Structure formats: C-alpha cells, structure tokens
Amino acid sequence: MSVTNNDATVKDGLWETIKVVIQALLLAVVVRTFLFQPFSIPSGSMMHTLLIGDYLFVSKYSYGYSKYSFPYGLAPIDGRIWGSAPRAGDVVVFKLPADHSTDYIKRVIGLPGDKIQMKQGVLYINGQPVKREYTGDFVDHDSFGNEVRAQIWRETLPNGVTYDTLDRGVTDGDNTREFDVPPGHYFMMGDNRDNSADSRIDGSGVGYVPFDHLVGKAQVIFFSMDQDAKPWMFWKWPTSVRWDRMFTLLD
C-alpha cells in the first residue's frame, strides 16, 4: 500500500512556482536591460510625433551600451561598448546631462561637428536652411479644454529623414545663437518647437548630450490613451484608447 506525502508535494509545488517567478523576473530584467525598455510620454514636447499618453518601446541595443543602459547606472562601463552612432533624425531617449537620472526623449538634429542655429523659426544646419513645407494645422486642447492650434511644418534633413514639427507662433527658441556641436556629443530638439526644453534652451539642463548618455532609440508605439486616462482604467478603453496609434513605427 503506497502512502502520499502531501507536505512534500506542496513544498515541491511551491518551490516550482518560486523558480518560475524568479526565471520570469530574470528574463524581464535581461529584456529590459539589453533589448527593449518601455517608456511613457508625460509631456507634449514631441507632438505630434508623440502624444501625452503614448507608450513606446525603446531599443537598448541600437547605440550599444553604457552605464546608463543599466538600472541606476550601476554597470562599471567607461564610455560605450559595441557603440553605433545615431543618425540625424533619430528619436532617442537619453539621460539628462544635468542630473544623469532623468529620462528625456527628443530628436537628434545635430551630429558631432555640426553647426546648428534657428533663424526666424527656420532650422539651419551648417549654414544651410533645412527644407520645410507647410502641410496644415494641428488642433489640440489645453488642460482647460480650450482649443489650441499650431501649424504643421514637414522638415527634411540633409540625409533625407523627414518628420513633422509644430509651430505655435514667435517664441524665444525661434532665434538662437549658432551652436557648434562638440566631438562625442549630439544636439537634441523637440518636434513641438515652441514647447520643448532642448539643446537650444539655456538653463534647460539638456545642452549638448554626450554619446554615453543615450539610452536607446524609440522604435514603436505599442499603446496609447488620452492624457486624462490611465491604462488600468480598462472600462474607459473603448473611448480613451487611441486605436489608430497602436503599433505605429517611429522612423
């Protein structure tokens, strides 16, 4: 007559569950650190390419790895390993040079050695105006529900990368001094040109962004909701989810 040890069975089952949980956590850490990390968009500085409430995946491997690729910058990496330089026009997440901890997302406009300047709202790279074309108006609403309009200008960089920018009128960022991007650094700008703290703006903490501060390249929007909703509010999904933005690839 056989006897079943229920206590041993329970312990074995509990241990198997713990092992599965540990393995899942380790896999998540590996994927987040070396492959893809999710980010959400909390501000409108990249409108209308990225909207408040967009959730996107950033590829960590696109530019190689630095200590800022790892949680809390704990990895003992000096500089960058397996590095690959970004191209002008890439949308990237980087650590704010002013505090080394805050994540910002902007578009790469200036490469090392480039000269960047804004003149009357027009972007100049190395003394030449960037091609831009008016394509219509973008309509938004502020936190009070008031309608806000902006002109949409499609820019084309010298390397052929095109994207839309927003122009809400004359602001301080429309006219700047000439910036000379130093070696190993990049010049970042938001697509929402009149509402972006970026490399043009003194005191923004951005300045010239060192190569080792790049976290990764924005690749795809995998989820998007109205800015006044939260993902866990599933009962609001039918009306608050921006279904047309799901799985939008970012050039």
The catalytic residue positions are 45, 106
Instruction: With beta carbons less than 8 A apart as the criterion, state whether 53 and 43 touch.
Output: no
* SS3 label, residue 202: coil
SS (H, E, C) 11-48: HHHHHHHHHHHHHHHHHHHHHHHHHEEEEECCCCCCCC
Using the structure block, give the residue that is written with the tokens 């994927």. 31
127's CB contacts (< 8 A; 6+ apart) are: 115
Chain CA centroid to CA 14, Å: 40
Q: Classify residue 164 by its DSSP letter.
A: E
Token readout for 54 is: 């967009």
